[in-house]
A and B are shown apart, each in its own frame.
Chain A
Amino acid sequence: MAKPKNGQVDRRGFLKGAAVGAAALVATPAAAQAPQQTTPPTSPQGPPRGAAGPSAAQLAADTGEPPPVSSRLVQNPGSDFMVDVLKTIGFEYVGANPGSSFEGLHESIVNYGQNKMPELLTCCHEESSVAMAHGFAKIEGRPMMAFLHGIIGLQHASMAIYNAYADRVPVYIIVGNWMDGAERANGVNSYHSAQDMAAMVRDYTKWDDEPVSLGHFAESAVRAYKIAMTPPMAPVVLVVDHDMQERPRTQTNLRIPRLTLTSPPAGEMGAVREVARLLVAAENPQINCGRAARTPNGIKLLVDLAEALQAPVNGGGDRVNFPSRHPLAGSAIGEPDMVLNLEVQGGPRSTGGRTKAVSITSGDLFLKSNIQDFQHMAEVDIALGADAEATLPSLIEEVNQLITADRRRLFQERGAKLAEAHRLARVQAIEAGAYGWDASPVSLARLAAELWAQIKDDDWSLVSWQGFISGWPGRLWNMHKHYHYIGGQGAGALGYGAPAAVGAALANRKHGRLSINIQTDGDLNYAPGVLWTAVHHQIPLLTIMHNNRAYHQEVMLVQRVASERSRGVDRIHIGTTLTEPNIDYAKMAQAYGMYGEGPINDPKELAPAITRGLERVRRGEPALIDVVTQPR
């Protein structure tokens, strides 16, 4: 929390704390208040000048027996039971920027719960809390929690929630609220409260509830987890009353429902058989993947399907769906006559009737009206409202049953051509990697190649998006495990990169994986405090800055507009670049207590700097190397 300026109280709870304190005094029974009300103020300087001697009542108060237990002490607060529920569900971590609306839960986590399962992670921004949970879930396959402070915390977090929603990632959010308008203090408590707190994010969350009792909390907490984890996965929100956290637990028959996850919906068998028939009959099929491989087994299933058909797989950029160096990784040669889209959002508006198209996506089962993430209405011949990974086993089985010896021979010929195309594409990528090899600033291909040389023998994990770095890791590295790459923001909003990388690195830590974050400069500047979180919680992560000193995509886009209007392009740096002054990211890292090095302009200095950074990371620390790069 930032220090208050000029003696002003901070937004988070000090005003509110004073208000609650006053309220508590008013609510305290008269007998307990009497000594406080009658005891004269004391000071180190002695009694006030001219004060009279103590009255009989004051003397009695000072020398008499105090009440054995203050009536303000709370036994068995409701938030302890909430922690029991959260432990039962099995959360490992909760990220939070502290706030008074969930102070009861906060205290119960760190004291009653011993700060284990879940452990509280100190975050410097609510967007960081949620984005960390976003990155964590993509590695671990299950949610991390974020606690948010009332309306203000939820608004800070809202962009990260939308990113996770668009990326089909489960994030578990608890928001504090003061529900009882009669008890709620004026001032900040009221500013931070809402009648329908979750309304502001309901367009891009899957489910929310605001339980009114502890029993209700237990049921909704388990239900929320179950819903978040059922494809299509998405964030869920529980709004938790401040006073319910604080009040003593009075119910004696509270129970925590057993959690049983819902089996992902698989495709209807009649439709699956028809898809198999089309695939086996196709001369030039193409398999496209969005977020198809939900689990590590999804990658294996896609390999099985592709190899059975000898069909090319476009693995997409959202997950590792298919091994990057598999001979069938790539696109069809020429126009495909059959396209299978697996968990691809949107799709071709029309295939012109020449290409059969099939869509398998759980996204068809859950759409909302306002946010337009559903994209264009894809024209397909068969649409299966089902989870692709859950449907793949039956689809593979049906395909295998339909393949005759003749088709198998044809498939093998096709596979050989695709393997050769894959080999050539790889050679071309290597040749393109040489462009600007010795240039300064450093080329992104060289950055990726130098990194790969030093991590390829580790159990590594790229925890950042590669869209802004021209996809060089995917072109040069051997990505074949689910944690080798976790895709991007989801909704394309900056501010995701740094915290999601830290969250993913947190998930990788217990597996002993080496986490690598190629970090864009524009993204880091949204909420750089997450660097401190990584240091404070000892999360090993090597961050390599892709420091092109700009919001570079906008440089190109504004340049295009200006040139099309013939107005000149010499001013398009205004509002798009991050220069004058240049930002010193090594010093930024150092300010947060992290090893920081750079800026590196000479490509020959890059490999030794990576070595030094990796030494720190392999010891369990985060480290940052600032590399000044070619724009793309």
Chain B
Amino acid sequence: MRANHQLLAAAVTAAILLPFAVSAQTPGAGAQTAAATGDARNGRQRYLDYKCYACHGYSGQNGPGTRLVPTRMNMAGFLAYVRNPRQMPPYAANAVPNRDLADIWTYLQTLPRSPAAKDIPLLNQILNEK
């Protein structure tokens, strides 16, 4: 890797972060209520195959991409966004079929949410340091 791409990556990072923005103060909030209609097991494999983890982490909530857990978009919104995103790279249907996107969205609903920072003693300790 040649780190002269750092600025570019930072731009990509910012680009990916913006559209999905979930309030940083409310981890665990915004629970997805839409019914999961895809195949979560296939969604997990597709999440890996399509390297969604590269920007969103294996957890769906780490890395330069926005947090996908909890997901704020319903499935229709998710599909529409991936086809024509404002910031992140676009994924055409020939590259990522709708069926796979639906499965990925369903898989995202199964990923565990994070504890709130206030419930993590180590982070509280750091916050309270001078």
Q: Which residues of B contact A476 (CB under 8 A)?
A: 126
With CB as the reference atom, state the residue of chain A lying closest to B1. Answer: A551
Interface flags, A306-338, vs B, CB<8A=1, else 0: 000000000000000000010000000000000
In the complex, besides A426-B127, A569-B95, A631-B62, 10 extra interface pairs with C-beta distance below 8 angstroms are: A432-B24, A433-B117, A435-B59, A439-B57, A439-B59, A467-B6, A488-B3, A494-B2, A563-B95, A566-B92
> How many interface residues does chain B have, given as a range?
35 or more
* Closest residue of A by beta carbon distance from B55: A556
* Residues of A in contact, count (CB < 8 Å): 58
CA distance A553 to B13 in the complex (A): 11
- Tell whether, in the assembled complex, residue B3 and residue A493 are in contact, meaning their CB atoms are under 8 Å apart: yes
Given the complex, which residues of B lie within 8 Å of A438, measured CB to CB?
Answer: 112, 114-115
Query: Is there a chain B Cβ closer than 8 Å to A470's Cβ?
Result: yes
The docked-state distance in angstroms from the alpha carbon of A562 to that of B54 is 14
Q: Which of B1, B120, B123, B125 contacts A553 (CB 8 A)?
A: B1
| Cβ-based interface call for B80 (8 A) | no
Question: Whose C-beta in chain A lies nearest to the C-beta of B16?
Answer: A556
Within the complex, which residue of A470, A478, A492, A569 is in contact with B6, where a contact is CB–CB below 8 Å? A492
Spot the interface stretch: A181-189, A261-269, A286-294, A441-449.
Answer: A441-449
**A158 on the interface (CB 8 Å rule)?**
no
Q: How far is the CB of B47 from chain A (nearest CB, A)?
A: 12
Q: Which of B8, B62, B64, B92 contacts A436 (CB 8 A)?
A: B62
Which residues 478-494 of A have a CB within 8 angstroms of B? 478, 488-489, 491-494
Residues of B within 8 A of A434 (CB): 27, 114-117, 120, 123
B56-81 CB contacts (< 8 Å) to partner A: 57-59, 61-64, 67
Tell me whether B24 and A428 are in contact (CB under 8 A): yes
Determine which of B12, B58, B116, B127 lies in contact with A630 in the assembled complex, contact meaning CB atoms within 8 Å. Answer: B58
Pair B12/A556 contact, Cβ less than 8 Å: yes
Q: Report A487-516 CB contacts with B as 1/0, cut-off 8 Å.
A: 011011110000000000000000000000
Chain B 1-33 interface mask (CB, 8 Å, partner A; 1/0):
111111011001000000000001101000000
Residues of B within 8 A of A (CB): 1-6, 8-9, 12, 24-25, 27, 49-51, 53-55, 57-59, 61-64, 67, 89-92, 94-96, 112, 114-117, 120, 122-127, 129-130
Q: In angstroms, how far is the closest chain B Cβ from the Cβ of A478?
A: 7
Q: List 24 A-B contacts (CB under 8 A).
A: A325-B129, A325-B130, A430-B123, A430-B126, A434-B120, A434-B123, A435-B59, A438-B114, A438-B115, A439-B57, A443-B57, A494-B3, A552-B1, A556-B54, A556-B55, A557-B9, A563-B90, A568-B96, A569-B51, A570-B50, A572-B51, A573-B51, A630-B57, A632-B63
CA distance A443 to B53 in the complex (A): 12
CB distance from A326 to the nearest CB of B (A): 11
CB distance from A462 to the nearest CB of B (A): 15
Could you tell me if A443 and B51 are in contact, using CB atoms closer than 8 angstroms? no
A379 CA / B63 CA spacing, docked (Å) = 34
Selected contact of B61 from candidates A435, A554, A631, CB within 8 Å: A435
A449 → B minimal CB distance (Å): 5
| Nearest Cβ on chain B to A70's Cβ, whole angstroms | 54
Q: Which residue of A lies closest to B3 (CB)?
A: A492
Contacts of B115 in A (CB 8 A): 434, 437-438
Interface membership of A592, Cβ < 8 A: no
Q: How far is the CA of A430 from the CA of B3 in the complex (A)?
A: 27
Kindly state the separation between the CA atoms of A430 and B59 in the bound complex, as whole angstroms.
Answer: 18
Point out the residue from A453, A555, A573, A631 that lies within 8 Å of B57, measured CB to CB. Answer: A631
CB <8 Å contact, A569 and B117? no
Q: A453-B125, A553-B5 are in contact. Are A435 and B62 (CB under 8 A)?
A: yes
Q: Is the CB of B54 within 8 A of A559?
A: yes
Q: Quick check: B91 and A552 within 8 Å, CB to CB?
A: no
In the complex, are the beta carbons of B120 and A630 less than 8 A apart? Answer: no
List residues 590-632 of chain A with CB under 8 A from any CB of chain B: 630-632
CA distance A476 to B124 in the complex (A): 11
